[in-house]
Amino acid sequence: MTSVVPARTSLESTFPAAMLSAVGTKESWRKEVHRPATSTHKWWAKRLGTVFRGILTSAITPEGDDAASAYGSAAELAGAVVLDPFSGSGVTGVEVLKLGGRAVCFDINPVATLVQRQAMQSWDMQRLTTAYAAVEASCRGEIDRLHRTEDGRTALYYFWVATVGCPDCSDRVRLFDSPVFSKNAYPKRVPKAQIVCPECLAVQESRYDFETATCPNGHVITQRGAVRGQVATCRHGHSFKALSALNGSPPAYEMYAKMIANRDGSKVYEAITDWDRDLYNECVGLLAGLPDTAVLPRGELAHGNNTDQALKWNFRRWRDFFNARQLVSLSMIATAIRDLPGSGAEREALCALFSGTLEFNNLFTSFKGEGTGAVRHMFGHHILKPERTPLEAHPWGTPQSSGAFSTLYKSRLQRAHLYKAEPADLVDVGTDINRVTGLSRPLAATIVDSWESFSATTGQAAYVATRNSAITDLPAASVDLIVTDPPYMDNVHYAELADFFHAWLQVMQPYEGYAQTFTTRRLGEVQNADSAEFGKAIEAVWAECARVLKPDGLLAFTFHQARISGWVQVVESLRRASFVVTAVQPVKGEMMTSIVKAGAREPSNLDSVVVCRRVVDGATNPNRSIEESLATAQKSLAVLRDDGIDVGAGDVRSVVRGTLLAYLASVGTSLDDAVTAQVDDLATETITALLAPA
C-alpha cells in the first residue's frame, strides 16, 4: 500500500517552474501541434501537457534530486494509479499513460468523457480510413451539390447579415456595423478588402480604410454601417435597440456574398444571385422532408451565465443555432456516422470529429479574414454570443476550407494518431526548446468504466467515466497520486456550453453508455458563482480524494482565481477535508492572448500548483509565520520574473493570496473579511515591489 510519492518531493521544494514555464509557453501557442491527442475536440481551460508532465515527474522525484532532468528523461511512474477527478480534456491521463502509470479520469460532463477517450485509446487507421470513406460516399456528393454556383464551382463560404424591422417605420435594417466584410489579417501590409453595399448588396473590391465608394448601382457607401453597439438606425433616421426589434423571435438572416473556389485554385468573392437563393430555399424544403430517423440536434437552452446572451436574442432551441442548409448537411454526416456498423473506437472517433466540426459550422461563427484560418469559431468569447454577420462554411470542405469535417480529419485525427504512436515532448536542451521522442510510451490504453474492470486489466489501462467525483467506486487507499485542474469558481460554466455538442451527440450515441439526457448539467457540479456553494461542492470531492489516497500520497492541482473568495473557499474546503497545503508553486498557465484573459482587469499568465497532503499522514505547512509565507511567495514569483517569464499583477495577487491563505488556514486562523483584507493589502504591496520598473 506504500505510495510511490517520496516523503518530501521536488514538487514541494525545488519545482523547476521556470523551465516548465518556458516549455509551456512554446506549447501554449500551438497546443494542437505539440499535444494533438488532447486536441481532437473543443474543451475549455485545457491545461498544458508539458506542465502536467512536470508536476507528475516532480511528484515522484525526492527533494534534492534534479526534477528538471527527471522531466526530460524517460521517467517511470511504475504502474502507479493516478486520479484526476476533474479530467476535462484528459491532459493528466495522457501524461500518466506516457509515463507508465495507470490513469483514473472522472468528469461530470459526458462531452469531456468523449474527449478523454479519444485522447487515450488507439485507432486502427485502416478501419478508420474505411469508415471515413463510407461516410464520404454516403453524403459528400449531395453536400457538394448544395454548396455550388450555377456554373458548378464550389462555394467555400456564404456571408450572411442579420436583419430586423424598424419599430417606427417597418424598414428592414441590415445589421452591418461596417460594409467591409473581408480584409487581410494584416491590413496595413495588405490593404485590399471586400465591401458590400448595405443598400443593394452589390460586392466590390476596395481598401479596408476606404472613406467613400460608389457601388455599381450608384449608391454611396461609407465606413459606417447601420449598427453602433446595441443601437441600429434605419434608412429614415429612426434609432432603436436591435434586441428590442426582434419581437420574441431570433433574427432573420440574408445572404449577401459568397467566396468561390475557381477551377484554377484561385478564390473570388461574388454577390448572391437568385440561383443561390433558390438553392438555399431548396434546403429549407429538404430539411422539412428529413425522416424522423435523421440525426438533428435535440433540446432547448436553459438560463445560465453562458447561455443568457443567446436567449436574449431569442435562440431557444439548439437547432436554432444553424440555418437550413447547415442542418441538412450536418444531419447527413451525423446520420451516416451513427449508422456505421459496429461500435468500435473508430466510429467513436468520427462522432467526436463531427462534434468538433459543429464549432465551425453554425450561425455563431464569423469570418476571420484573409491570410489566416477563415472561420472564427463560436467559442472565442466563452459565451454563446450571436453574430450579426455570421459565416456559413462548406461543412464537408475542400483542401481550401477551414474548420470542415474533411480538413479536421487530417489536422485532428490523423495528427493525433501519429502522436499516440510516437509521442514527442518539448524539452529545454539548453540552447533551445526541442521536440524529443523516445521519452514517453505510446498511447494505446484499454478504456474501462469501472474499478473492477480496471483492476482486472493488464497492460496500459485507463478508467474513464462520467461521474460525480465526490462519489466513486474506488476502494480506500487505492490511489498513489491525485493531479487535477478543478473548475474555477466564476469562469466558464462548461456544461452550459457543452450542451451545444451534446444536443447532437445524445442522438448519435458515440459509445455504449453515452448520456441520453437533454442536458449535460448535473447535480454535483463544482462550478458555481455562489462562493459558499462552490466551497461545499469542491469540499465533497476533496473528501473523497482523502479517502482514496494512499498513506503519504499527494494531491496537486492547478488553480487561478480573480476573486479572493474563490481562494478562500478552496483553502477552507481543503482544511475541512483534512488536507494541508504544503506548497504553492507558480507556473505557466494559458495563453496571455486569449480573449477572455485579455479582457480581464488583471490578465494572468500563471497558474498556481497547489500541493497538499493529508493531516492524518502528519503533514504540516512548511512556513512558520505569515511573513515567511509572504517571502516564499515573493521568492517563487521573482525566480520566474528574473528568468524572463511574464509575471503580471493578477499572477502576483493570485499566488500571494493562495500562499498566505493556505498558511493561515493551517494554523487555524478564521479567514474572515479582516484577514482577507490584510492578505489583499500584502498582495498589493508585493505587486508594487516585484513589478515596479527598475
Distance between CA atoms of 210 and 352, rounded to whole angstroms? 44
How does DSSP classify residue 271?
E
Of 1, 34, 5, the residue nearest 434 (C-alpha): 34
How crowded is residue 15: how many other Cβ atoms within 10 Å of its Cβ?
A: 26
Q: What pLDDT is attached to residue 594?
A: 47
Kindly state the percentage of the chain with pLDDT values over 70.
97
CA pair distance 668, 653, nearest whole angstrom: 22
Report the C-alpha gap between 313 and 483 in whole angstroms: 40
What is the pLDDT of the chain when averaged over all its residues?
A: 94
Residues 6+ apart with CB under 8 A from 48: 24, 27, 28, 31, 35, 91, 588, 589
The C-alpha atoms of residue 16 and residue 27 are separated, in whole angstroms, by 16
Residue ranges of alpha helices (H) inside 223-289 are: 274-288
CA atoms within 13 Å, Cβ hemisphere of 340 = 32
Burial class, 344, CB count within 10 angstroms (exposed 0-12 / middle 13-18 / buried 19+): middle
E strand segments, 284-359: none
Distance CA 62, CA 498 (A): 40
| pLDDT score, position 372 | 86
Question: Do the Cβ atoms of 24 and 588 come closer than 8 Å?
Answer: yes
Instruction: Give the global pTM.
Output: 0.95
What is d(CA 410, CA 582) in angstroms, rounded to the nearest whole number?
A: 44
Residue 161, SS3? strand
281, 275 in Cβ contact below 8 A?
no
Please give the Cα distance from 5 to 60 (Å, whole number): 5
Give the model's confidence band at 2: pLDDT under 50 very low, under 70 low, under 90 confident, else very high: low
| 201 pLDDT higher than 80 | yes
The closest alpha carbon to 574, from 588, 584, 585, belongs to 584
CA 617, distance to chain mean position in Å, is 37
At 491 the pLDDT is 60
Q: Hey, what's the torsion of the CAs at 597, 405, 94, 561, to 10 degrees?
A: 20
DSSP assignment letter at 521: -
* pLDDT greater at residue 332 or residue 75: 332
What digits encode the pLDDT tens for the residues 592-605?
444 444 445 677 78
Check whether 591 has a pLDDT greater than 60. no
Tell me how far apart the alpha carbons of residues 49 and 247 are, in angstroms, rounded to a whole number: 48
Whether pLDDT at 645 is above 50: yes
Per-residue pLDDT at 160 exceeds 70 = yes
Amino acid 598: pLDDT: 46
Give percent of the chain with pLDDT exceeding 90.
89
Length in residues, the chain = 694
Taking the C-alpha atoms of 350, 353, 355 and 361 in order, what is their torsion angle to the nearest 10 degrees?
-130
Question: How high is the pLDDT of residue 269?
Answer: 97
Q: Which residue has the higher pLDDT, 3 or 241?
A: 241
Tell me the three cell numbers of residue 280: 438555399
Residue 694 — pLDDT band, cuts 50, 70, 90? low
Amino acid identity at 73:
S
**Residue 233 neighbours by CB under 8 Å, 6+ apart:** 173, 226, 227, 239, 240
* Alpha helical stretches, state H, 644-672: 649-666
Cβ contacts of residue 23 below 8 Å, gap of 6+? Answer: 50, 426, 427, 428, 433
The residues near 396 (Cβ < 8 Å, ≥ 6 apart) are 136, 139, 140, 143, 144, 329, 333, 404, 405, 406
Identity of residue 370: E
- How far is residue 467's CA from residue 483's CA, in Å, rounded to a whole number? 17
641/395 Cα distance (integer angstroms)? 45
Residue 61 has φ and ψ, to the nearest 5°, of: -100, 125
What is the tens place of the pLDDT at every residue in 28-52? 999 999 999 999 999 988 899 999 9
Q: Is 268 helix (H, G, I), strand (E, B) or coil?
A: strand
Three cell numbers, residue 338: 451513427
Q: What DSSP state is assigned to residue 38? A: G
Confidence of residue 137 (pLDDT cuts 50, 70, 90): very high
Mean pLDDT on 381-391: 89
Are 467 and 109 a contacting pair, CB within 8 Å? no
- The DSSP call for residue 640 is H
* pLDDT at residue 373, as a whole number: 84
- Cα angle 131-512-82, degrees, rounded to a multiple of 5: 105
CB atoms within 10 A of CB 456: 10
425 by DSSP, 3-state: which? strand
pLDDT of residue 490: 64
Predicted confidence (pLDDT) per residue in 83-131, tens digit? 999 999 999 999 999 999 999 999 999 999 999 999 999 999 999 999 9
Measuring CA to CA, which residue among 633, 665, 663 is closest to residue 651?
Answer: 633
In one-letter notation, the amino acid at residue 375 is V
- pLDDT tens figures, 58-79: 999 999 999 999 999 998 999 9
> What's the rounded Cα separation, in Å, for the pair 219 and 234?
16
